Chains A and B, each alone.
Chain A
Amino acid sequence: MFQQGTLTHHVSFSPMSLALTVKNLTKRYDPAGPDVVADLDFAVEEGEIFALLGPSGCGKTTTLRLVAGFERAEAGTVALGGQVLEGPGRYVPPERRGIGLVFQDYALFPHLTVVQNVLFGLREVPRKERRARAEAVLRLVGLGGYEHRRPHELSGGQQQRVALARTLAPKPKLILLDEPFSNLDALLRQATRQEIRQVLKREGMTTVLVTHDQEEALSFADRVAVMRNGRIEQVGTPEEVYYQPRTLFVAQFLGRTNLLLSEAKGRKADTPLGTVALNRTATGHVLLSLRPEHLTLDAPDAGSAHPLGKVIAREFKGHDITYRVALDGSEYLVHTHNRMPYHPGDAVRVRPLEPAVVLESQPAGKRVDV
């Protein structure tokens, strides 16, 4: 079965440091329909950035709205810092949860100026300190001097940062980000992402990010939960979910991968690419995943035992090359460094650089290791 050792350091956190805990959360919009969120469990630690990653319709936004309190759950509990927000016989409305939200389209109040938008959430702060706090938060996100602009006078990236400032200002216990970067163009997206990550980390904010963009989840979050059909398929650090996907879905959703049907015997398996090492012990028919960058090409006469294939396509992309190699009736993707000399028609040997990942035959469903 799945090796749990890689996740143990998370279990070692004491319960006191858990900020958000979600247990058995279930949501159905249509009484007769399927569960949009099905028996979901996860926990977010103090100061952690946690991403819910999945394709559209996987229930990630519904989960976020359940945590925020804009939807009511059919079953399960949501607790923040020990206080139950949603559970049997208990429901705290959004305005009393102390949870900040940044919306996909920012939801800035169009009739208020930038500073008025930020002041909007500062009712609990003593009147005299409000202004100073609002200005400080705006400086924090790099918008000092923009106080009296209206939202429509700002660029997309600036609006995004006003939304963040407005959410940060009341010092919420948790911040929820709903696809916050999807309205920015590609260039701006990367820069804004890094800036906002720095601000959140500097402030020590506990954050849940919802996104369908795997690159965004991997680069932004400390831990990623991959969701599918209202369930979490795997939780782990970006490296864990990328390098050690537990299911076929996770392997394919996080990037391109080569799938190999194989016959496993312990830590080795017979595959169309020859005998390869496995990341864990397994026996019988198993499906293996090997990322393109975990394969490389050798010359046919290199004397290795790896099988011989033929290059059918070569895509030079500057910093690397993607090859398509035909081997034994199948095609394999291979990412290599940009000095690899082979061209279409060349005979090559395909050699794995790392152990292949054994995928679970059944989706794990609700079984989640935290």
Chain B
Amino acid sequence: MRYRRLLRWYFLVPALLVTAGVGVPLVYLLLRAFEVEWSQLDDFVFRARTLVLLANTVLLAVGVLVLDVLIAFPLAWITTRTDVGGRRLLTLLGVLPLAIPGYVMAYALLASTGSYGTLARVFGLEIPRLSGYVGALLALSLYTFPYFFLNLRTAFLGLDPSLEESARSFGYGTGAVLGRVVLPQLRPAFYAGALLVGLHVLGDFGVVSLMRFETFSYALYLQYTAAYDRLYAAWLALMLLALTGSVLFVEARLLRGLLFHRTGTGARRRARPVALERGRFAAYGFAGTVALLGVVGPALTVGYWMVQRGAARQWGALGEALGASVLASAPAAGVAALLALPLAYLSVRRPSGATRALERIAYLGYATPPLAFALALIFFTLRAAPFFYQTLGLLVAAYALHFLAEAIGPIRSALYQAPPDVEEAARSLGRTPLRAFFATTFPLLRRGLLVSVAFVFLSAMKELPLTFLLSPIGFDTLALNVWSYSNEALFGEAAPYALAIIAFSAAFVGVLLMNESDA
């Protein structure tokens, strides 16, 4: 009886579309990979190169996690627990690097170092060009640390100060309180941040390809462009998926039972701020360095190359690329919001095993490394619907399915705020379920929907790997231009596209902050 609701077309169609869109290509990838002759597996999997790729990928992920914590933890502590002036500005600095996607950060690092780089040309400061592990590590860390920062900051603000005070009353000093009371409570925030960062590193393609650092993604890209061996590419994608799967598994394991330890949302009393006297200069110095490396430096570099190359010559091409990006991103945003609305509704208003599974599938689409997801879509369309291959439609569908999770979030929060009984009131006043929804709940969701559309649109605007593999021939978006010019070290040519990407990403951060402050 409870499932009758699920079987209404407006729930059934989106549910089937999402399940099929995310699930079928992945299953197909699996089937294709297992068409392998078992003797071939020696060449694909059981060989030294796999170990190298695995070690590189894991080392990069671990390095980024460590560096992120080293940047984010002090910054989160300074902005929530001390009395230094300008904490709001410092908070903004902790989030702003999200406006510089990894591949733009990689571009900025490449364009500012080495004998030909900005530093050498402007300040005569010649440091070796960053590339390989160090380059990838820096670019990814500077881009991803805000995910840690946001999680830690929220957790710091949510801590119940009376717990620390009671620990102090038992005679524990500052250090002991930090180690035995504060850090254990921050564990869920660390795990949540680590998951996001881990998925980003595993899914990243732009940074590792520009920095020429051989991870699974980079090998996948080489395989796809240079020596197109589908079967090997499928196995690489599969190994990448397995790695992603183990990250998700470990995360779920670590989080199990932990959420029960969190304190309830009682009265939000702020902890007494620590007075940083001389320490404040260290704090400003630290935040300033992070800001210089993460935001100011890249922006200045892009600006420098803009001026150098007389970017005006490129306005036409820039306009074309912008048009292409919008042409793919705008419909994707619409489709994602359209799919997200019924899914979010089901998960909030009719929670059950089935609706939770549906939501998991949507998150699976988000967690799947985009390169592997794109490859699965290519395999599947080539077999099942070749006419769909290399069309705008496929690109739009891929964007929508991949970013669906981003669209579900804001709609779900809005639904939690909309009282459920207004719909029942509307039904008791003679409206059918669908009409009752549109007359009462829908008007309350407008903001959430708008944020969803904005999230997906702006994410799609800067998306690189999906675009790289799936865009129709000759369809050059902003992201593709940044990447391909940077890949050939044509920094001046890349600059205007990079600037446009930064503008869109900054808008994304703006929406994110607006949404956070209201939530």
By a beta-carbon cutoff of 8 Å, the part of chain A in contact with chain B is 68, 70, 72, 93-97, 99-101, 103-105, 107-111, 120-121, 123-124, 166-167, 170
Contacts and interface: CB of A to CB of B under 8 A. Distances in A.
B419 A107 contact: yes
Contact of A109 (B427, B428, B432, B440): B440
B84 to A, nearest CB: 38
Interface string B391-432: 000000000000000000000000000010110111111111
Contacts of A99: 428
A100 B426 CA distance: 10
Given A95-B436, A103-B421, A121 B430 contact: yes
A94 B444 contact: no
B430 A95 contact: yes
16 contacts: A68-B424, A72-B1, A93-B433, A95-B427, A95-B430, A95-B431, A95-B436, A97-B428, A99-B428, A101-B424, A101-B428, A103-B421, A103-B425, A108-B425, A120-B426, A167-B429
A110 B422 CA distance: 9
Contacts of A95: 427-432, 436
Contact of A94 (B1, B424, B439): B424
Say whether chain A's binding surface is mostly helix, strand, loop, or mixed. loop
Given A93-B432, A109-B440, A121-B430, 10 more contacts: A103-B425, A105-B421, A107-B422, A107-B425, A109-B425, A109-B426, A110-B444, A111-B443, A121-B429, A167-B428
Contacts of A103: 421, 424-425
Q: Name the residue among A101, A109, A120 with the largest chain B CB count within 10 angstroms.
A: A109
A105 B1 CA distance: 28
B422, B427, B428, B431: residue with the most chain A Cβ atoms closer than 10 Å: B428
A217 B223 CA distance: 76
A101 B440 CA distance: 16
A68 B428 contact: yes
B351 to A, nearest CB: 13
A123 B431 CA distance: 10
A107 B443 contact: no
B421 A107 contact: yes
A97 to B, nearest CB: 8
B444 A111 contact: yes
B427 A107 contact: no
Q: Nearest 3 CB-CB pairs, A to B?
A: A121-B429, A107-B421, A107-B425
Nearest to A104: B421
Contacts of B439: 109, 120
Given A72-B1, A110-B444, A111-B443, A123 B421 contact: no
A105 B421 CA distance: 9
A160 B161 CA distance: 39
A70 B425 CA distance: 11
A10 to B, nearest CB: 28
B428 A100 contact: yes
Contact of B430 (A107, A111, A170): A170
Contacts of A110: 422, 444
Given A95-B436, A109-B440, A111-B443, A101 B430 contact: no
Given A107-B425, A109-B422, A109-B440, A124 B1 contact: no
Interface in B428-461: 428-433, 436, 439-440, 443-444
Nearest to A120: B429
A178 to B, nearest CB: 9
Contacts of A107: 419, 421-422, 424-425
A128 to B, nearest CB: 19
Nearest to A29: B2
A61 to B, nearest CB: 12
A279 B487 CA distance: 98
Given A107-B422, A110-B444, A111-B444, A170 B427 contact: no
Contacts of A166: 425, 429
Contacts of A124: 430
B414 to A, nearest CB: 13
Given A72-B1, A120-B439, A170 B429 contact: yes
A121 to B, nearest CB: 3
Interface string B303-341: 000000000000000000000000000000000000000
